[in-house]
Amino acid sequence: MKFNTKTIHGGQEHDPAYGSVMPPIYQTTTYAQSTPGGHKGYEYSRTHNPTRNALEKAFASIENGNYGLAFGSGLAAIDAVIKLLQPGDEVVSTNDLYGGTYRLFTKVYEDFGIKFHFIGMENANKIEQYVTPKTKLIWVETPTNPMMNVIDIVAVSGIAKKHNILLGVDNTFATPYLQQPLDLGADIVMHSATKYLGGHSDVVMGALVVKDKDLADKLYFIQNASGAVCGPQDSFLVLRGIKTLHIRMQRHCENGKAVAEYLASHPKIGKVYWPGFESHPNHDVAKSQMKDFGGMVSFTTEGNDYEGAIRIVERLKIFTLAESLGGVESLAGHPASMTHASIPKEEREKTGVVDSLIRLSVGIEDEEDLIADLKQAIG
Ligand SMILES: *Cc1c(COP(=O)(O)O)cnc(C)c1O
């Protein structure tokens, strides 16, 4: 099955009871047993739920994996991955990381004795100097949030395999429509399904997909033992979202390109970060591992002034000033005061998250309306 067909049919069966085309929302905690242990595969909904399982199969299908797991949020999914580790273990991670992931690593798991190295991985060879016998996980976000750095997954996976280290890729920004990390050598692919997979800004959810059965079993154990699962209603909504992922992404990419090009031509705009520009430092890698360049665009003001950036985001009318991304509607965010406020200023600025940086999640509205909105807001 090819990708567009998979988004609609991957891992899905018509419901055996009445043939319903969409899986019913099994809003139940428990399942009747005829005798102790005499059940139909379902005992308790933390462990298994038919609606969630339908979604988990869809996750596995679209990411070309064998096993999918759904969690109550993207961070709950990452939390489950870190629980594969033990005190004393080390993780090498990209430095330009989603703020909440950075917070989970440094404010929660460092206290449990896990050591994190945050480094720029645009040159994958840099990773090896941080690898020790205790390194158990390499964690990659690409494109990164919000600087749109692109990391060569094949190159990183070569290093991970050589040292027998797990490679996890946060594929939230790209989605499997653009990039399939398991095919590029990653062991675990993770999503904040809150974003493009759900796609309608109405569900918070996380996902993991793996190929390897042993790894899947460990993660299923953690999913059930720690219990950060999502409910059946949310599972249904994300399953519905995935069915239009390919056409939404196509439009996100078209509009993202138009917005990036408009901003790059505007005299009052400073830098524009978008992997589709030939001048982007890792454009070639983006071209080889991604099908297109996505709908996320970041930029600074010409004078790099905080007030100027705030004025722009306040004036936008179609772009809503809000956290999050990946929904059908366009959103604008100011990372320094919003999504990345939990990262200390010196750390932030080292990676380019300066005070005038604005991040756009370009939605699927009409391109002309989006450009006109930016035009009036920039003034
Ligand atoms: C939003 C996001 C997360 C966290 O996901 P939640 O669903 O908000 O817990 C992780 N990584 C990236 C890249 C994100 O954008």
Pocket test for ligand 1, best of 59, 98, 238 (most atoms within 8 A of CB): 98
Indicate the pLDDT class of residue 109, thresholds 50, 70 and 90: very high
Q: For residues 146 and 214, what is the distance between their CA atoms, to the nearest angstrom? A: 34
- Asked whether residue 337 carries a pLDDT value surpassing 80, the answer given is yes
The pLDDT score that the predictor gives to residue 97 is 87
CATH top class, domain 3-242 = alpha beta
- Asked whether residue 182 carries a pLDDT value surpassing 90, the answer given is yes
* All CATH 3.90.1150.10 domain ranges in the chain, comma separated: 246-378
The tens digit of pLDDT for each residue in 280-302 reads 999 999 999 999 999 999 999 99
Residue 161 bears catalytic tag: no
The pLDDT score that the predictor gives to residue 248 is 98
The tens digit of pLDDT for each residue in 7-36 reads 999 999 998 889 999 999 999 999 999 999
The pLDDT score that the predictor gives to residue 350 is 85
- To the nearest 10°, the Cα dihedral for 338, 342, 346, 351? -70
Which one-letter DSSP state was computed for residue 231? Answer: P
Q: What is the H or E stretch that residue 79 is in?
A: helix 74-82
126-133: long-range contacts (C-beta < 8 A, 24 or more apart)? Answer: 127/92, 127/156, 127/159, 128/159, 128/163, 130/90, 130/92, 131/92, 131/159, 131/163, 131/165, 132/90
| Active-site annotation holder among 79, 96, 170, 234 | 170
State whether the Cα torsion 309-312-313-315 is positive or negative.
Answer: positive
Mean pLDDT value across residues 114-139 = 96
Residue 52 bears catalytic tag: no
* All CATH 3.40.640.10 domain ranges in the chain, comma separated: 3-242
Residue 169, class by beta-carbon neighbours within 10 Å (0-12 exposed, 13-18 middle, 19+ buried)?
buried
Which one-letter DSSP state was computed for residue 323? Answer: S
In the chain, % of residues over pLDDT 90:
93
- Give me 244's structure tokens: 């239009």
The pLDDT score that the predictor gives to residue 340 is 81
Q: How far is the CA of 275 from the centre of ligand 1 (A)?
A: 20
Residue 83 bears catalytic tag: no
Instruction: Mark out the alpha helices in 163-244 (DSSP H runs).
Output: 175-178, 213-226, 232-242
The one-letter amino acid code at 79 reads D
Q: For residues 260 and 320, what is the distance between their CA atoms, to the nearest angstrom? A: 18
The pLDDT score that the predictor gives to residue 190 is 98
Indicate the pLDDT class of residue 193, thresholds 50, 70 and 90: very high
Bond preceding residue 146 cis, omega within 30 of 0: yes
- Asked whether residue 342 carries a pLDDT value surpassing 80, the answer given is no
Mean pLDDT value across residues 305-322 = 96
- To the nearest 10°, the Cα dihedral for 290, 291, 297, 298? 20
- Asked whether residue 99 carries a pLDDT value surpassing 90, the answer given is no
Q: Is the CB of 101 under 6 A from ligand 1?
A: yes
CATH superfamily of 246-378: Aspartate Aminotransferase, domain 1 (3.90.1150.10)
Which residues pair with residue 169 across a beta bridge? 140, 189
Q: How far is the CA of 145 from the centre of ligand 1 (A)?
A: 10
The pLDDT score that the predictor gives to residue 283 is 97
Residue 98 bears catalytic tag: yes
